Structure 1
């Protein structure tokens, strides 16, 4: 018999085949909240695992797995792990039991039929080979970014450092950095090479030597974003709330009722375009060194220093150190502007709330939208115009998004889940429109709440 809700139950020993049966209500008591912050269970394919100690050793970071404590992590597990069968072998030592026969396959808060259909779709996608990458595609993406990187240096070397070649070189360097950024994003999602180890090594190199950042920090932050997108307190991409921006109508009302005012949020749609990229550019440069030093990531710090030494050796002899600082600062500001508009056009206009523990498909679809496909949009956004497909299948190589999109649309239509797709300019405008609406909600709650 499954344990009764709220009853005192002897905690099973992980790894022992005790045959314990649990209800969803019992599992929910082990969510790592309240007085039991280190007491964490989760469910994968109806099996119950105790991750109370393992979460600190989790290769993807302790927080991403902890965000599913007390919940069903089946689809998240399948989405993040290319070789699920191999990883499951290591799960046995954490096994403490399974769901009771009378329990639904997923939590009552979730759409069981949608979940089952998505799991069938995931199996179909795997059989179709859509999780396998095209090496020529990624070789081209690397080479075109590398050529732009070299072209930036050649422009200064040949034409000098007057304003026209200076700005042209800044533009070329910025584009190269953005395209390197999209490539490291692919590698971080284990979507380029078949073996995770090769992805991690290449990610380490591209992120460190070519971009000057720590790969482990990106993994730590970005995996959380994918696990719980637009979920306040779980998605690190919402860290600017509430210090710079008031995001989402519900959170804005809550902020207003608490009479908190860090910024004039009613004007946030006006200052977003300048303040967000400037703050982000400075924040990234500061946090890079803070993260690597605090966490003693000395090898990553060495690679970051190699990036900076490389830049100095390439450009200081041509333009001097002060000009290089201006060159680098302007390029990083332009890169931050590009990145923020591309990354936020799919998220800020969508629902932002606390974790509602929805099924995997609903979690991703309420937090993401797509932008129309075109060769320019694909290149300009690093194929993140297919944000829905990317979030549903994070390990899928980006050149296959367009192939799976019709199948995802059919799934959404069958279950009445809204699948949003818009033009690039509409997506950009929606960022400002949503910020304005959120700011007005905050102001109304602040004045009258």
Structure 2
């Protein structure tokens, strides 16, 4: 079930200057409430516990690989590794948003270690694509997450498809989950391309050193225990499930929410809340999605430790209701249903690559 506060236009027009000023003022009032509640304070004990659990999980995976040896049963450890390294990716995300420590340097190293060394993804590359998303979620020309070479997330993308991509767009709701299985491979490929081609200059050499170390230890360790064929299967299973898990955590947050035109001008509160969707489900969904299920609160207060997002929810929801800004919240199943419905609707607007021109003319 989806719960929203007072309705508002799905894709709001440019807000008058007076309204933007009022919304900025009300966001400042909300921010003061959040700060007074202590929700922006660092939670070092929480993060120490999470890091310890992740380290224990990684140790368990390594132990399992060694004990199972050169057996196809070792692929069970690949599935477990996907879960553990997704949690590492979440910690890298939290470090990048300065949620863990008080200083920028400590947070940057936390993000870099968990992104590059543990997960194998370039921290600088990820920041370069993620920061614009936070600045203007779902905005055309700014948020790269709504622009995909394969899937069509908005009408303009669907109408521009030709050939095989148009055929795929018509059926993209059916292909969504299989494509998520390729997302892990795609993320690592994009990361490597960014590092090879120069990418963001700041921190690039550190990223290269840590990513190379990751893959050297990972592949070298596997080949000490497994035959090359089983090692390749291990990597394939790990990356496929990593893509499904991580992509499945990000997709429900914005897909199917309004897409903002390039020239739209929105105040900060509206820009962050109207384009985001929260996902309910208690502690299990919090763990599964790394706290990103509280997407509205995360976008309003990106430096808030993820464990505090749930506590911020009543304050944010009440404020949005008072201001007449739609606050969208739904279950995990309903969120994925909304994602698939959106993909199906947008995909239907792609040109049919195999349609008969004469038949179209006669129907017209």
TM, length-normalised to structure 2: 0.86
1:273 has 2:180 as partner: no
Q: Which structure has the larger Rg?
A: 1
Give 2:33's aligned residue: 124
8 A Cα contact 1:174 1:332, kept in partner: yes
Aligned 8 A contact 1:266 1:436 in 2: yes
User: How far is 1:302 from its partner?
Assistant: 1.2
Deviations 1:197-242 (A, max 9, x none): 11012212222211112111111111111001111110111231xx
Aligned length: 335
Deviations 1:34-87 (A, max 9, x none): xxxxxxxxxxxxxxxxxxxxxxxxxxxxxxxxxxxxxxxxxxxxxxxxxxxxxx
Alpha-carbon distance in 2 for matches of 1:245, 1:293? 26
Report SS of the residue matched to 1:394. coil
Contact 1:110 1:358 in 2 (8 A): no
Deviation at 1:113, TM superposition (A): 2.2
SS of 1:351's equivalent in the other structure is coil
Asked if 1:283 corresponds to 2:189, the answer is no
- Structure 2 residue aligned with 1:247: 153
**Retained in 1: the 8 A contact 2:116–2:214?**
yes
Call closer, same or farther: CA 1:148–1:352 in 2, change over 3 Å: same
1:194-273 aligned at under 5 Å gives the runs: 194-240=102-148, 243-248=149-154, 250-251=155-156, 255-256=158-159, 260=162, 262-264=165-167, 265-273=169-177
- CA shift, 1:260, in A, is 4.8
Q: How far is 1:128 from its partner?
A: 2.6
Aligned position for 2:205: 298
Does 2:42 align with 1:133?
yes
Q: How far apart in 1 are the matches of 2:68 and 2:260?
A: 52
Q: CA deviation at 1:107?
A: 6.0
**Residue ranges of structure 1 left out of the alignment (5+ in a row):** 1-105
Task: Report if the CA contact (8 A) 2:133-2:144 is conserved.
Answer: yes
Whether the 8 Å CA contact 1:251–1:353 is kept in 2: the answer is no
Which of the two has greater helix per residue? Answer: 2
Matching of residue 192 in structure 1 with residue 107 in structure 2: no
Indicate if the aligned counterparts of 2:44 and 2:100 stay in contact, CA closer than 8 A. yes
Root mean square deviation, CA, Å? 2.2
Q: Counterpart in 2 of 1:313? A: 220
Residue pair 2:139, 2:261 contacting (<8 A) in 1 also: yes
Which structure ranks higher in relative contact order (CA pairs < 8 Å, sequence separation ≥ 6)?
A: 2
Cα deviation, 1:381-402, whole Å, max 9, x if unaligned, reads: 1011101000111111011111
User: In structure 2, what is the Cα distance between the partners aligned to 1:436 and 1:227?
Assistant: 27
SS state at 2:86 partner: helix
Equivalent positions of 1:101-120 (< 5 A) are 108=17, 110-120=19-29
User: What secondary structure is seen at the aligned counterpart in 1 of 2:350?
Assistant: helix
Q: State how far apart, in whole Å, the 1-side matches of 2:63 and 2:17 are.
A: 61
Check 1:259–1:433 CA distance in 2 against 1; reply closer, same or farther (3 A cut): closer
CA separation of 1:416 and 1:171: change in aligned 2, threshold 3 A: same
**Residue 277 of structure 2 contacts residue 296 of structure 2 at CA under 8 Å; is this kept in 1?**
yes
| C-alpha contact (below 8 Å) 1:247/1:438 kept by paired residues | yes
Q: Secondary structure at the match of 1:384?
A: coil
In structure 2, C-alpha distance between the alignment counterparts of 1:358 and 1:305, rounded to whole Å: 42
Counterparts of 2:135 and 2:314, CA distance in 1: 23
* TM norm structure 1: 0.70
Q: 2:337 aligns with which of 418, 429, 440?
A: 429
Partner of 2:166, secondary structure, is: coil
State the distance in 2 between where 1:352 and 1:443 align. 21
CA-to-partner distance for each residue in 1:328-386, whole Å, 9 max, x for gaps?
Answer: 12101111111112101111111123231211111112211101141101100101110
1:345 aligned residue:
252
What secondary structure is seen at the aligned counterpart in 2 of 1:421? strand
Distance 2:192 2:79 in 1: 26
Q: Distance in 2 between matches of 1:110 and 1:216?
A: 36
| Local SS of the residue matching 1:153 | helix
Residues 161, 427 of structure 1: alpha-carbon distance in 2 compared, 3 angstrom cutoff? farther
**Runs of 5+ unmatched residues, structure 2:** 1-14
The CA distance in 1 between the partners of 2:144 and 2:301, in whole Å, is 20
Residue 89 of structure 1 corresponds to none
* Whole-angstrom CA distance in 2 between matches of 1:368 and 1:203: 24
Matches of 1:370 and 1:113, distance apart in 2 = 25
Deviation, structure 1 residue 110 = 4.8
